[in-house]
Amino acid sequence: MSNQVMVIDDEASIRDAVEQWLGLSGFSVQRFGQAEDCLAQLPADFAGVILSDVRMPGMGGLGLLAQVQARDPELPVILLTGHGDVPMAVQAMRDGAYDFLEKPFSPESLLSSLRRAQDKRRLVLENRRLHSRADFSEQLQATLLGAAPAIAQLRRQVLDLAPLPVNVVIRGETGSGKELVARCLHDFGPRAGKPFVALNCAAIPEALFEAELFGHESGAFTGAQGKRIGKLEYAHGGTLFLDEIESLPMAQQAKLLRVLQEQKLERLGSNQSIAVDLRLVAASKPDLLEQARAGLFREDLAYRLNVAELRLPPLRERREDIVRLFDHFTAATAKRLGRQAPVVNSTQLAQLLSHDWPGNVRELANAAERHVLGLAAPALETSGGGLSLAAQQEAFEAQCLRAALARHRGDIKAVMEELQLPRRTLNEKMQRHGLAREDFRD
């Protein structure tokens, strides 16, 4: 990417000269005659440098500096000054300006200052990205729970894809958490402050689909009482999540493809084009490309959607996470209902670990809720594909630790006495099973 510079000067001749110099040196230049116009178009985390004259009609360079400092104190601002403004510029540097150049200045001095400022800006943004990723990683671990390798890989993929402006297809069985993953892609990306709009394609009658997606004007069809904003338009600036997209009617697939290509739509009953900027995340149980080869889905739309694909493993492929997830849902339900979370006995634990969970995480959450309510859970069928003895022992140990921590509300000394464990051993086991005393305190 070219080095970016915003140039603000009320004299067109200076803007022209600076743009020519910088363009020949590989810079991408945006020109402004007024500081106010620059501020209106200044994006968050701008990756470049601001170069501004000091004396201009309206807001001057010092006013611009103050406004930029309020938004981002680490964004470099270089000021262009006349001879009489040098003391003022020196004070501005004390107030946060990166550098100042006295007119007339040479192209070499301008390029030298800009390159140093650009290098500093790159380091600042990279440092922010690394800190942000570390923070997001911790938040993501608390959202996409699990220690199975497939879940750890999924979290890494979500962190990698969240900031990128690409469409994503999420594949997974019913109840595996596809909408939760879509929400994470939105929440940990640059569109987090904008709408997240979810739509289940299988739940909408085909006759109503176009109005639901595109919206309509008053009187567009029988029953259209007033203007209605469609899901595509409502998601402008944010993310549209289309669940079970394999159910999208063929006629609507063509129209959706056109919106994605042109980034424009028309409401039903209108000829006016409306610009839309959104990220599309789609969820599907079958492979969309296989559906396309079978004539059940448009191939061009499948390729447009499937820039990146995330696969959610079914619960039976991550049995080591079953007990932890069950405890999480049990604790959440108990807290919501104001009840004490009941302990899982060895028989129940064996059933949890050996069941195939065809309804995946959603079925497990239902079983946890029934467990808290003291209701008999539906019979859990066992399968021959359970965990090894060692893995079952690990799961049972984790459950015993959780139960003791819950009984004693995170009191480590009391847990040590009950389980007859030295402090170091207890700490090691808690760390291995992802347990923290804070999670069990009132």
- pLDDT tens, 53-101? 988 999 988 999 999 999 999 999 999 887 667 778 778 888 889 998 8
Q: How many CA atoms lie within 13 A of 406 on its CB side?
A: 19
Asked if residue 263 lies in contact with residue 235, where contact means CB atoms within 8 angstroms, the answer is no
- Answer yes or no: are the C-beta atoms of 90 and 117 closer than 8 Å: no
How far is it, in rounded angstroms, from Cα 33 to Cα 36? 9
Give the CATH H-level superfamily of domain 3-126. Answer: Response regulator (3.40.50.2300)
The closest of 200, 219, 199 to 268, measured between CA atoms, is 219
Instruction: Calculate mean pLDDT across residues 307-321.
Output: 91
Phi, psi (5° rounding) for residue 159? -60, -40
Task: Give yes or no for a contact between 265 and 259, defined as CB atoms under 8 angstroms apart.
Answer: yes
CB atoms within 10 A of CB 321: 21
Higher pLDDT, 116 or 215: 116
Q: Report the candidate in 162, 153, 157 with the shortest Cα–Cα distance to residue 196.
A: 162
> What is the phi/psi pair of residue 112, to 5°?
-60, -45
pTM of the model: 0.66
Mean predicted confidence (pLDDT) in 312-329: 90
Question: Which CATH code fits 144-313?
Answer: 3.40.50.300
pLDDT in tens, 38-49: 999 998 889 899
Residue 196 has pLDDT above 90, yes or no: yes
Residue 284: predicted pLDDT: 95
Contact 96, 73 (CB under 8 A): yes
What digits encode the pLDDT tens for the residues 107-140? 889 999 999 999 999 999 888 877 777 777 788 8
Q: Are 305 and 280 in contact (CB under 8 A)?
A: yes
| Token digits of residue 26 | 């590989």
What backbone phi and psi angles, to 5 degrees, belong to 418?
Answer: -65, -45
The full set of domain ranges for the chain reads: 3-126, 144-313, 316-440
**pLDDT score for 348:** 83
Give the whole-angstrom CA distance, residue 274 versus residue 192.
22
Q: What DSSP string runs through 350-417? A: HHHHHB--TTHHHHHHHHHHHHHHTPPPPP--B-S----HHHHHHHHHHHHHHHHHHHTTT-HHHHHH
DSSP 38-80: HHHH--TT--SEEEEESS-SSS-HHHHHHHHHHH-TTS-EEEE
Q: How far is the C-alpha of 416 from the C-alpha of 419, rounded, in Å?
A: 5
pLDDT band (50, 70, 90) for residue 181? very high
| pLDDT higher than threshold 60 for residue 384 | no
pLDDT at 294 over 80: yes
State the pLDDT at residue 236: 93
Classify residue 99 by burial, with Cβ atoms within 10 Å: 0-12, 13-18, 19+. Answer: buried
Question: What is the identity of the amino acid at 434?
Answer: G
Chain centroid, CA 112 distance in Å: 37
Of 14-18, 123-127, 357-361, 380-384, the range with the lowest mean pLDDT is 380-384
Distance CA 320, CA 322 (A): 6
Q: Is the pLDDT of residue 376 over 70?
A: no
- Kindly report, residue by residue over 344-368, the tens digit of the pLDDT: 877 888 888 888 899 999 999 999 9
Mean pLDDT of the chain: 87
3-126 and 144-313, same CATH topology: yes
pLDDT interval class at 220 (50, 70, 90):
low
Contact between residue 433 and residue 397 where contact means Cβ atoms under 8 Å apart? yes
Q: Which two tokens stand for residue 304?
A: 């447009």
Q: Kindly report the backbone phi and psi dihedral angles of residue 258, in degrees, each rounded to the nearest multiple of 5, phi listed first.
A: -65, -40
DSSP codes joined into one string, 267-287? -BT----EE---EEEEEESS-
Token look-up 């999924």 returns: 154
pLDDT, mean of residues 404-408 = 81
List Cβ neighbours of 149 (8 Å cut-off, separation of 6 or more): none
- Are residues 162 and 281 in contact, defined by beta-carbon separation less than 8 angstroms? no
> Which among 242, 232, 230 has a CA at the least distance from the CA of 198?
242
What letter does residue 160 receive in the DSSP assignment? H
Interatomic CA distance for residues 369 and 333, integer angstroms: 6
Tell me the average pLDDT across 195-208. Answer: 90
CA angle 143, 144, 149 (to 5 degrees): 150
The β-bridge partners of 410 are none
Strand partners, 282: 169, 242
Distance CA 107, CA 347 (A): 79
First to last CA, the chain: 51
* Residues whose CB falls within 8 Å of the CB of residue 179, separated by 6 or more in sequence, listed in order: 198, 241, 243, 283
For residue 399, the one-letter residue type is Q
Alpha-carbon Rg of the chain, whole angstroms?
29
* Averaged pLDDT, 250-265: 91
